[in-house]
Structure 1
Amino acid sequence: MARITKGILGGFSGKVGTIVGANWRGKDIIRSIPTPSNRPPSEKQMVQQMKFKLVISFLRPLGSIQKKYFGLNSGSKSRINLAVSYTINEAVQMVADVPELIYNKILITKGDLTGFQNVNATPQAGNTISLTWEDNTTQGNAAGTDQVTVICYNKELDSFAVFEAMAERSALTKEVALPAYYAGKEMQVWAYLNRAEEDIACNSSYLGALTMI
């Protein structure tokens, strides 16, 4: 059953015969009900489906970050859509017919804020990571109050450790302590900066694969 949402001349939501009405991004739309296909997917379609499944699974825990800081909403594409599309096209490779992520090509955030200058991450005793970067507050639209976020991922556990707004750009150094269950494990590490107003971020930086000690 369909439901009229704005009176007799307004849009409707639900199914009427062979059409479906909905409100999408503030616009009332009508589309036909797709016809199920009995045709098996082609090899190319199957590869694309595997890539899509891999990327969606990986990015899902980062959704709240990418909704704010991955490019700009573009027409029908949300920031999440843009992040998925970018990752599939730029950061996935096929190895023995199996899709794999290329970690050093992954962008967690994408934006026009001035990024880090010479940022480095090194593992330290006690299951910690030490970050250092250089002062570039005079460059572009950088500010000393820009917030630093560090993201760590372990493939074995398929698990993220996210440290949001854990330092300011002006700090130039920061240590993050990971939970004990990451001890001895390899972590893929990224960092990004966002403005204190939380309206813009830089392109994230990949800091390498670090084994915790």
Structure 2
Amino acid sequence: MAIIKNGINGGFTGTVGTVSGYYLYGKWVIRAKRTPSLKNKIGSARQNVCRSKFSLMQQFLKPIVGFVQIGFNMESKKRMMSAHNVAKSYNMLNAQQANREIDYPKVCLTYGNLPGAIDVQLMVNDVGVHFSWANNIEGNYVRAHDQVMLMLYNVEDGIARYETSGAKRSRQQESVKLTELDKGKTFHTWISFIAEDRQAIAMSTYCGSVVFKPE
């Protein structure tokens, strides 16, 4: 059953026969139900490589989907796609090696044109990981109020600790706490900045990996 919106000239939601309708990014969309052939189910060698890359990136992004939904929010509106799909598409294209392994330094978790972080330093103690960065917006009052976004990602266990509304850029330092459960674990790290009104964002910067070894 389908429901017509705004009369006979409007769109509809639901399914009628083999056709489904829904509202997506300001537009009414209809599409036919897919009936994949046996050939497509099995897949060619090239299709299976693509599917493998897709599954790997899907798995990588799953624990951090809340972060990338913010990080790719503005770009998703331009492309009229979900933020998750834009992030997946970008990183499949730019951050996967020929052997299908993820290239962490090339991973992008936030996408935009604000000034990024420079001269990032990391310090680990029994509380967590402490980030510091250089002031590269001297005299720019608006940019001084950007907020830092931080990511610590234990890829092996699929556990992420992150901050999406951290200290202001002008403060030049912020921390992410870790727990006893994180002891001895390796975390890949990223930093970015988002405007105070959440309408602009920087490209994320990979800061290397750290091992949490509290004393």
- Give yes or no for TM over 0.5: yes
Question: Runs of 5+ in structure 1 lacking a partner?
Answer: none
Q: 1:76 to 1:165 in 2, by over 3 A?
A: closer
How far residue 191 of structure 1 moved from its aligned partner, in angstroms, is: 0.9
Counterpart Cα distance in 1 of 2:139 and 2:204: 17
Counterpart Cα distance in 1 of 2:196 and 2:18: 49
The within-5 A match list for 1:71-82 is: 71-72=74-75, 73-82=77-86
**Counterpart pick for 1:89 among 62, 85, 93:** 93
Question: Runs of 5+ in structure 2 lacking a partner?
Answer: none
Does the 8 Å CA contact 1:69/1:200 hold for their aligned counterparts?
A: no
How far residue 141 of structure 1 moved from its aligned partner, in angstroms, is: 8.6
Q: 1:76 to 1:177 in 2, by over 3 A?
A: closer
Match of 2:107 in 1: 106
Match of 2:4 in 1: 4
Map Cα deviations across residues 23-75 of structure 1 (whole Å, 9 max, x no partner): 22232223222222111201111111111111112213333333333252234
One-letter code aligned to 1:91: A
How far residue 150 of structure 1 moved from its aligned partner, in angstroms, is: 1.2
% identity of equivalent residues: 31
One-letter code aligned to 2:82: S
**Which stretches of structure 1, 4 residues or more, deviate above 4 A after TM superposition?**
139-142
The within-5 A match list for 1:102-181 is: 102-123=103-124, 125-138=125-138, 143-181=143-181
**Counterpart pick for 1:61 among 56, 60, 63:** 63
Q: CA RMSD in A?
A: 2.1
SS in 1 for 2:144: coil
How far residue 129 of structure 1 moved from its aligned partner, in angstroms, is: 1.6
**Structure with a larger share of its residues in helix:** 2
How far residue 127 of structure 1 moved from its aligned partner, in angstroms, is: 4.9
**Structure with a larger share of its residues in strand:** 1
Counterpart Cα distance in 1 of 2:132 and 2:16: 60
One-letter code aligned to 1:6: N
Further displaced range: 16-25 or 134-143: 134-143
Q: 1:142 to 1:46 in 2, by over 3 A?
A: farther
Does the 8 Å CA contact 1:129/1:177 hold for their aligned counterparts?
A: yes
| TM-score, normalization by structure 2 | 0.87
